[in-house]
Structure 1
């Protein structure tokens, strides 16, 4: 009883200590901290976009089509970033568009990570023949250019934002499978796994309770990078007309609608492109910070 009581306070402070250590190494990467702040701003817009936007994203002001931004001759404070060819407020569409882009990232990463981790665990613990079958299927998927494979899948399923998310998740899944399998094969050789086997732990407990928590660090980094890849691929599919369909204010779709006006109204193309660029860059910077904070080999002594 005394031993149990003496260990309990030490266990209670273990998690806060880990969080402090993570933040200590994460904030050493200034780019990652800047990326985190930018990501937080876009996440806020994604959550509260319809209430923050000055106008409805689909409302058309026919008397103000292709109106320039406020700082250019002819611009007004009513439409700070100007309007598109149909008279819709660019700022409102960009703000609401953040919701679609972040929704794509969350759904794609959730589907790809859950399926990839499961198959990676199975491959790491399965007999050699089953492991070979799973990995050869993943190699076939990786052999195709990711955007081309996503285009083919969307063409089969039909152009829509939902089908685009499914296609992107399938394309990203092999990365999680290979990463999880490699981590599992490395962890299986360690003493704590052998000890768990000796005391009678079954395969499910070994996979999900014993081994998986120790494989999460590289998977979290991969999830952050996949989030930006999903946003970029969804924008590319939207630009090609295979993702979100008009009048959805998705950034790639906005680029597709405005490309014929690039010489007459630079703002209708520039602002959606900048939104994609800044968001993807911020998430990639966060991914670098996560890698530095979670990889023990990169931590400074």
Structure 2
């Protein structure tokens, strides 16, 4: 497809530049598989993720010595099928990513728009508050918030969303400050457009490209942080088949049952890597400065 044909529509232009990054395309395919597995987990998993087969505890993968093809990836210390738990874990990770990105982006974009159009004293107050939040290590701050709210997957998602929100605030404000002095905004203001219309109809659509890239990267960060909180016992609680919680339950068996730690770790690694690769492709496709004619 030629460049001219690709540029006949915004979607065609986006795909033309996105597919030039082969890593991003591979990441997109892996992410699509991840979404498919998450959506159809009950149909794909051979067993219920909490079902215990007490006579088959710590079975190795089917191809290893002593393995059983009834459990292709082996079983955990309680005799639960590893494959079923990994498949259902994809659903929890996808849910965490969606909720965290929606909450963090919604609040961050709103606060960033307010800061971009606010008087100087309010803008300064908002940005200094964001700087204070960013001064803390993100995982440490999330741990403190979960400790206050109580260990659970819901509270972990709230904490991660609050920790990621300042990134959206700073990004949105920077985009607004760049756009608000342009001719089309000045024309709208002279034409009598009210402030809400200027913020949400005139300026915000032109600030979405970097926000979309940030959302993709935040998705992978949310999955990592949720897994870390789950590993520390502050996120999803057993017997929830969340990848971080699975790692926490299996850490004492790492020397004699490598598969109970390896497979959840690989699932986290591959998913986060795929999303980050896809985020790089989104940046290349949406940033005009990176487009080649």
TM-score > 0.5 by shorter chain: yes
Deviation at 1:225, TM superposition (A): 0.1
- In structure 2, C-alpha distance between the alignment counterparts of 1:101 and 1:262, rounded to whole Å: 23
CA distance in 1, matches of 2:75, 2:291: 48
Tell me the secondary structure at the aligned position of residue 131 of structure 1.
helix
Q: Which residue of 1 aligns with 2:163?
A: 171
TM-score normalized by the length of structure 1: 0.95
Q: Cα deviation per residue 1:252-287 (whole Å; 9 max; x = unaligned)?
A: 000000000000100000000000000000000000
**Which of 124, 127, 130 is residue 132 of structure 1 equivalent to?**
124
Aligned in 2, Cα 1:15/1:202: closer, same or farther, shift over 3 Å?
farther
Q: Unmatched 5+ residue regions in structure 2?
A: 1-5
Secondary structure, in 3 states, of the residue corresponding to 1:113? Answer: helix
Q: Is 2:29 the counterpart of 1:34?
A: no
User: Which region of structure 1 is more displaced relative to structure 2, 15-24 or 259-268?
Assistant: 15-24
Aligned to 1:192: 184
Q: CA deviation at 1:15?
A: 9.8
Aligned equivalents of 1:76, 1:39: Cα separation in 2: 29
Aligned residues of 2:41 and 2:88 also touching (Cα < 8 A): yes
Counterpart position of 2:243: 251
Q: TM-score, normalised to structure 2's length?
A: 0.97
Whether 1:156 aligns to 2:148 is: yes
Q: Which runs of 4+ in 1 moved over 4 A?
A: none
Residue-by-residue CA offset, 1:59-111 (whole Å, 9 max, x unaligned): 00001000000110111111000000000000000000000000000000000
2:48–2:84 contact (8 Å) kept in structure 1: yes
Q: CA deviation at 1:16?
A: 6.7
Q: Distance in 2 between matches of 1:99 and 1:230?
A: 14
Q: Does 1:21 align with 2:13?
A: yes
Alignment partner, residue 220 of structure 2 = 228
Aligned partner of 1:292 in structure 2 is 284
- The residue that corresponds to 1:10 in the other structure is none
Match of 2:61 in 1: 69
How far apart in 1 are the matches of 2:126 and 2:7?
Answer: 36
Structure 2 Cα separation of the partners of residues 32 and 23 of structure 1:
11
Instruction: Give 2:95's aligned residue.
Output: 103
How far apart in 2 are the matches of 1:229 and 1:145? 13
